[in-house]
A = this chain, B = another copy of it.
Amino acid sequence: MALRDDPRPEAAPTAMTEVMRRLGQRTRYAKDQEIFAQEEDADLVYMVVSGAVRTTRLLSDGRRQIGGFYYAGDLIGLETGPAHRYSAEALVDSEVLVARRSALAALAGDGVLDRALLATTRRELDRAQEHILVLGRKTASEKVAGFLKDLAQRGGGERVALPMSRQDMADYLGLTIETVSRMLTHLQCAAVVEFDGRRRFTVKRWGALEQMAA
């Protein structure tokens, strides 16, 4: 595969990472364990150290929307006001640094913290707006192709791991599990990607994938 420049933005400002490392309480969460709950008081900030996390929002009738997936270096828990709008759960066994917001402010200095939080929040807003475009105006096959493309870019390597289930993908993309599965089958039949087990794939025709993502 040709070299491409890494599209990943800095996961979080260095100052933030530094402070979190010093003040954060390292905590382990098992697969599917809840890290924080919807409506819970949002006084804590979380940084993923290893593993992966999803943020989800539940409607009373069981419909679920996933807000995003977070990996090592990503900050969560700041996307909300006083109370969380989303809950967060570990996708796989994960380690997370947890810190009180007030403690962070004391150590980092208000200005530094504010600037770091602003940068992270703004990046989060960009992600959300991209997500809005996808949910509002893309077809099922564009959604799935775009999802795999993003994952492959983020992963960097040849073989890309899918840490989430088909249900998670569906709930992120506003589709059903069956539709996601069909689109994956199509992509594989078209020799755009090749799956090696259910949670691992390789991009075979990068151009085609980008085109399908539109």
Contacts and interface: CB of A to CB of B under 8 A. Distances in A.
A67 B86 CA distance: 20
Given A131-B132, A136-B135, A122 B63 contact: no
Copy tally for this chain in the complex stands at 2
Interface in A34-87: 57, 59-61, 63-65, 67, 78-81, 85-86
A124 interface: yes
A136 B110 CA distance: 37
A135 B85 contact: no
Interface in A128-150: 128-133, 135-137
Nearest to A60: B214
A54 to B, nearest CB: 13
A122 B57 contact: no
A163 interface: no
A156 interface: no
A167 interface: no
A121 interface: yes
Contact of A135 (B63, B117, B135): B135
A115 interface: yes
Contacts of A115: 114
Given A128-B129, A135-B174, A136-B173, 14 more contacts: A57-B133, A59-B133, A65-B133, A79-B125, A80-B126, A110-B111, A111-B114, A114-B115, A118-B118, A121-B122, A121-B125, A128-B128, A132-B135, A136-B174
